[in-house]
Structure 1
């Protein structure tokens, strides 16, 4: 059995596996990368895994992360998660990684211990997502700041919620948010369509459209979920229609859907650390949840080029 097949079997034993680490999600999210998994076995049982994507970048081989894969990192069997298990199994997973010029991964927030990676020369930066307890919608509503509640109430009078419009329409409005900031959208409609088909097949996504009486789409959202929580995966607003507050209204609609239709108790905003976006998460009552960005350079040339790329913004 290949490591990928063994990983597929292992994932069926993990009740809290993030959707981003599901094998079918990894299949759908790749874009020029290929994925595999390092595994630790105890007899016939897999007890630990670390999925990863490899990609060729010019003359370099790298372990990287596709744009739609928010989190990866090591995952342990529920019966093998104490600190001594983590130290032992993480070290064994690291030893199985292929020889590459660079390793970069955003670990899922469930990985609070990256010490075995530090011992092997890896480096780490702490990043944050924002999560919200949605088990009580009245409490969620009370936790939203007053001005945001007023904006949502205003949008309620102007907009209707639709789920039945095509993915192309969502992508078009999503792209407007990048265009407004003069940023190239980092994925194509074909990439999003491939991911959407996989999520739809596994009943793990819903599309949200805020539409007025004339049929104009003010805002869009792409909600995905696993057994633990819903994720505010993608969103966008028509810049000409932002005064309707459709974006804030859709966040509230997504929260309601996650609680009322999916029975979930937690909502993950999937970031953001952008200074213009982070306050919005807090105004909805969400709290910071840290996760680790872990990396290691095995090539001095690649490290130098990466440093120049970051400094020059290219």
Structure 2
């Protein structure tokens, strides 16, 4: 079997595999992807899926649409001592990096928790950080609720009396239109098409790992949130308020609903996919989750692509 076929088999067997690097997710968001593998004996110890693109005669390896994190995945042996995990991770990722195709431009957002800064710098990559907020869900839901800002707790209680929240997959187009209207109002370009959103959503529906939560008041849609999950973690990927709605509690209520649903599904955490936008950052921060930094590795050896970046 080639690497891609081996990886598909690996994804089917590896329960800890994050959603955003599963083979079926990659099929949905970037169909012509590939993968490099590291094997220890007869088992796969690490994998790094990627997609090489060519734009303006420049070779690129970069983040894919609707995919907040990807990059290397390390499968630790079950009997590996905790004290040896860092060395195992370092060796595995080094071996994966050596196999990646050489490109002129690279920009990859890695999963939270991966902290091998020195490794990437030693391989000629720049390392920056971005942030998200992650709500741990090991505690009782009452304790999680207590972490919310008091205004949010009040809004959630009021929303319970005035809003109805249901899973309505048919309203995915409405979510896209609400999001586009919101970004247009900020003069920000929409970074995914309706077709791309539908493809990713359909793949998640097929694998029973998503819900499209819709908040209604008197039958009128107030806000929509796309919630998805893998075996361990849950994620808020896209959400938007109806531009015609004046209800300021709907998004807070939807996020809290997604958190409670994640808890019911025994997920370990809820990831807000935190934004660097100050307004969004404050909104997420007030839910009381942990601020988590994640690495972004990059390089740019193309003068043409450097000029393009300056002209944005």
Give the TM-score normalised by the residue count of structure 2: 0.91
Secondary structure of the residue aligned to 2:245 is: helix
Structure-to-structure mapping, 1:100-179, within 5 angstroms: 100-135=103-138, 136-164=140-168, 166=170, 167-179=172-184
Asked if structure 1 preserves the Cα contact closer than 8 Å seen for 2:48 and 2:72, the reply is yes
1:274 is matched with which residue? 277
Q: Does 1:197 align with 2:195?
A: no
2:58 is matched with which residue? 60
Secondary structure of the residue aligned to 1:270 is: coil
2:18 is matched with which residue? 18
2:262 is matched with which residue? 258
Secondary structure of the residue aligned to 2:278 is: coil
Cα RMSD after superposing both structures = 1.8
Asked if structure 2 preserves the Cα contact closer than 8 Å seen for 1:220 and 1:235, the reply is yes
1:4 is matched with which residue? 4
Deviations 1:70-115 (A, max 9, x none): 1112111221772222232222211111121111100111312132
Return 157-166 or 91-100, whichever deviates more.
Answer: 157-166
Secondary structure of the residue aligned to 1:169 is: helix
Asked if structure 2 preserves the Cα contact closer than 8 Å seen for 1:176 and 1:236, the reply is no
Asked if structure 1 preserves the Cα contact closer than 8 Å seen for 2:46 and 2:75, the reply is yes
**Structure 1 residue 142 displacement after superposition:** 1.2
| Distance (Å, rounded) in 2 between the aligned partners of 1:176 and 1:27 | 28
1:225 is matched with which residue? 229
1:303 is matched with which residue? 306
**Structure 1 residue 243 displacement after superposition:** 3.2
**Structure 1 residue 201 displacement after superposition:** 0.6
**Structure 1 residue 234 displacement after superposition:** 0.6
Number of residue equivalences: 305
Return 19-28 or 156-165, whichever deviates more.
Answer: 156-165
Unaligned runs of 5+ in 2: none
Distance 1:305 1:170, change over 3 A: closer
| Aligned partner (choices 99, 102, 105) of residue 99 of structure 1 | 102
**Structure 1 residue 15 displacement after superposition:** 2.9
| Aligned partner (choices 289, 292, 308) of residue 292 of structure 2 | 289
